[in-house]
Structure 1
Amino acid sequence: MEKQLKYRSTIKSRPYFYNETKSLAELILQGLNDVEIKEKVLIENILQINSEARKKEVASTILKRLAVLDAFLMKKMTNGDVETSKVIVLYAILKTDRLFFEFMNEVFRDKLTYQEMVITDRDFYTYFESKRQQSKSVAKWVDYTFYKLQQVYIRILFEAGLMKNQKGDRELDVPVINPDVIDHIVNLGDEKFIHAMIGGE
């Protein structure tokens, strides 16, 4: 899946959106389509955002993420335990953002696998430098883009419960995921996304 996606830096203005994602997932489960949901976001301001352009941007981002989830995962996200719910939102982001998935798969997963439970600024720098070498499009990005990406990655991991603190040497945490959800994602052929979040081969 990730090979079909282009490297993008748009996540820097479109972070975790946990509560917002749950809200829109509930509307999908009620039978509303994308057009009706966007209308609710714009007219009723259910996401409580001031700018019209930002309402559209956030709604589009979340709906793209939710499009990779089936009804089972949406129900577990909206009604399940908080830790699993947060991980499902993270899974949707990983499925739709190649650069972030590769960070999780190449850096975060390795840390967990080798029990090095801290991520430093140096880890981010090394990762982004390697992507600059591998991709002509990433090589064109300015330094500020990588600074913002690092900030957003940290924020997402912290809010998703996979990082204990946002400053200094950031301590990592392994999420506890409902076994039914793990089995379901594995059966979908998406085992690599589970490994990216909890480590292992």
Structure 2
Amino acid sequence: MLKINTSSPYTASMTREQFLFYEVRTTAKLMTEGLSDEEVVQRIIDDNLFQYPTEKSLKRIAQNCIRRLKCMDDETLVKAIATQPTDVAKQICLYAMMKQYRLVWDFMITVIGEKYRLRDTSFGRIDLNTFFLRLQEQDEVVASWSDTTITKLKQILARVLVENEYLDSTKATKLNPVWLNSTLENAIKDNGDDAALAAFNYFS
């Protein structure tokens, strides 16, 4: 029996969690009120702030939102998600998602960032297919994922691009120009995450 390398940096759990902008923003607002993690989760459950049908799903997503926000290790960015205009907050949420999921990090830098660097505005299914084929060749865990899982992850990545206005729709074939907010730019540099700048069409 083939032994799968459990040290892979990649996880498919994103199929359940996705971009979650409304949920992450709601969680960020509670965190900036000074509530503990447990109090944040309880408030979300008690008031059904995500409008989910079950307490179990509320708790799972609330805990994931807290984890995602903490991945940035930056209270200024958490506050910005809570208080800044939607377009700025979404961009920071994308950075948080990149920090949480190596899959998103690699995709945004090696596919989207590289296209911006080369001034190649084309985008299509082939870009997603090539990205996953490359990962499957490099990583045993990704190679073990089912076709259904891979398809779902492709859909999520495409929707993330639409939610952040990189694409006009999931059927769009052209990348839009994006501009990096200065708050996020400074945080990325302070965190030593300069490689991530390309994902936001920023080249110094």
1:159 is the counterpart of 2:169: no
Q: Which stretch of the first structure deviates more once superposed, 105-114 or 71-80?
A: 71-80
1: CA distance between counterparts of 2:198 and 2:36?
A: 32
5+ residue gaps, structure 1, are none
Name which of 41, 44, 56 aligns with 1:41.
44
Which residue does the alignment assign to 1:185?
188
Deviation of residue 56 (structure 1)?
Answer: 1.8
Number of equivalent positions: 197
Q: Report the TM-score when normalising by structure 2.
A: 0.90
1:59 is the counterpart of 2:62: yes
Does the CA contact (< 8 Å) of 1:25 and 1:78 recur in 2? yes
Deviation of residue 5 (structure 1)?
Answer: 6.9
Which residue does the alignment assign to 1:12?
15
Deviation of residue 184 (structure 1)?
Answer: 2.6
Does the CA contact (< 8 Å) of 1:5 and 1:97 recur in 2? no
Which residue does the alignment assign to 1:145?
149
2: CA distance between counterparts of 1:177 and 1:200?
A: 10
Relative to structure 1, is the Cα distance of residues 5 and 83 closer, same or farther in structure 2, using a 3 angstrom cutoff?
farther
Which residue does the alignment assign to 2:71?
68
1:133 counterpart letter in structure 2: E
Which residue does the alignment assign to 2:4?
none
Identity %: 26
Name which of 94, 97, 104 aligns with 2:101.
97
Cα displacement string for residues 30-89 of structure 1 (whole angstroms, at most 9, x for unaligned residues): 001110111112222111111222112211211111112322112222222332211100
What RMSD, in angstroms, separates the aligned Cα atoms of the two structures?
1.7
Relative to structure 1, is the Cα distance of residues 143 and 36 closer, same or farther in structure 2, using a 3 angstrom cutoff?
same
SS of residue paired to 2:71: coil
Which residue does the alignment assign to 1:77?
81
1: CA distance between counterparts of 2:111 and 2:184?
A: 23
SS of residue paired to 1:67: helix
5+ residue gaps, structure 2, are 1-6
Does the CA contact (< 8 Å) of 1:87 and 1:175 recur in 2? no
Relative to structure 1, is the Cα distance of residues 187 and 168 closer, same or farther in structure 2, using a 3 angstrom cutoff?
closer
Name which structure has the greater RCO, CA cutoff 8 Å, separation 6+. 1
Name which of 110, 117, 124 aligns with 2:121.
117
Which residue does the alignment assign to 2:3?
none
Q: Report the TM-score when normalising by structure 1.
A: 0.91
2: CA distance between counterparts of 1:85 and 1:117?
A: 24
2: CA distance between counterparts of 1:83 and 1:168?
A: 20
